[in-house]
Amino acid sequence: MESLQAIKQRFGIIGNDHHLNLALEKAIRVAPTDISVLVTGESGVGKESIPKIIHSLSHRKHAKYIAVNCGAIPEGTIDSELFGHEKGAFTGATATRKGYFEVADGGTIFLDEVGELPLTTQVRLLRVLENGEFIKVGSSVVQKTNVRIVAATNLKMMEAIQKNRFREDLYYRLSTVEIQLPPLRERKGDIHLLFRKFSADFAQKYRMPTIRLTDSAIELLKNYNFPGNIRQLRNIAEQISVVEEERVITPELLSLYLPNFGSNLPTVVEGSSSSGGSDFANEREIMYKILFDMRNDINDLKKLTHDLLQHGYDEHVHERNQHMIEKIYKDQNTVEPTENQDPKVEVLQISHTPTYSEPVDIDAEDADESLSLQDKEVEMIKKSLERNNGKRKLAAKELGISERTLYRKIKQYNL
């Protein structure tokens, strides 16, 4: 049996990450058997290398190896592609055709993006896995095949099963052995190695000097999230190799090729919650409630101002207005994050409750100013920034909000 290092060199796999090595070692161990293997991992992590390794180290290595992208074949023709069809089985079937399972008899079939298979096709595939039998489209004759199936997917299979997008019995038949490949962001030590390899390849391809990263640019590259994994890293290396005249790449130059680098926009991180995207929905609902409450407070303030302008000071009117004022400011002061509320949802709170024991004389200009809570917020932010000589960190602390929230409001109000 070949060593791990020899396998890496043979299939062009770069990296020494522990989880990558474990995945490769598992592939090497299961290769001599005929059990089904399911390769999982995010898009762009290199899942297509695992079935090639398994096939080349198995007793089927001299037979056919066929890779099928299940997500690229239309639903209406996928059964014909996999299992074949008889002449006249459907419009356009002018001749009998062999499917992949018949052609690859004795070899290996790699079903990439297996989670995209239609449910009807999943039933046919399950029969092949259980007893090696299939029926061509338009035929009633049962045929036998002896193939080894290796499948791959970037879907969370248990979620797909719960949503009735994938059969549970098929999942357990496919995943007799499951091999998971880690995302690039968890292989920080391999990122620069891969970048250097890609840069050298493109320098040779386009006949130009190889690009090189400065030390600080290397650190920037390692700390990037890489949502597109190895495929994205390769794309970045190719862009820089072709576009940039300067062959020494600085962090400033590299950051131009890293999408959303330094963005303050919220991102949904996979695996952060067992409920998937429900956290974002909950946060959105909280924000809607805050905005709705603010609108009600503004309407109450309008009514209060109208009464004061229309009737002046009246004891009964003043008593009703006093209750309204206390309610508004009580609501403002009691807005606190609940136990389950996302701490990122922050509210700029009013820290004092005014009381009125005398008639209030409000002219038209003051009335207009009091109608907008947004204007008050802008005014508070401006004054806080002035008091702290423009230092956002100190101003945010004084206002009781995070520096990030303050920065967002400064951008929002063009302060």
Can you tell me which residue has the tokens 């992590």?
45
Give the span between the Cα atoms of 49 and 2, in whole angstroms.
Answer: 16
162 phi, psi to nearest 5 deg: -65, -30
Contact yes or no for 37/51 (Cβ under 8 A): yes
pTM passes above 0.85: no
Regarding the domain delimited by 4-182, which CATH topology (the fold level of the hierarchy) does it fall under?
A: Rossmann fold (3.40.50)
Q: What residues have CB less than 8 Å from 374, skipping those under 6 apart?
A: none
Q: For the chain, which residues make up each domain, given as ranges?
A: 4-182, 186-255
Residue type, 135: I
CATH class of 186-255: mainly alpha
Per-position pLDDT tens, the chain of length 415: 679 999 999 999 999 999 999 999 999 999 999 999 999 999 999 999 999 999 999 999 999 999 999 999 999 899 999 999 999 999 889 999 999 999 999 999 999 999 999 999 999 999 999 999 999 999 999 999 999 999 999 999 999 999 999 999 999 999 999 999 999 999 999 999 999 999 999 999 999 999 999 999 999 999 999 999 999 999 999 999 999 999 999 999 999 999 875 443 444 444 444 444 444 555 555 666 676 667 676 776 777 676 666 665 555 555 555 555 555 555 544 444 444 444 444 444 434 444 444 444 445 444 454 446 677 778 888 888 888 888 888 888 888 788 778 877 888 877 7
DSSP 123-152: HHHHHHHHHSEEE-BT---EEE---EEEEE
Stated length of the chain? 415
Give the span between the Cα atoms of 233 and 45, in whole angstroms.
Answer: 10
DSSP 98-124: --HHHHTTTSEEEEETGGGS-HHHHHH
State whether the Cα torsion 260-264-267-272 is positive or negative. Answer: positive
Pairing state between β 37-40 and 177-180: parallel
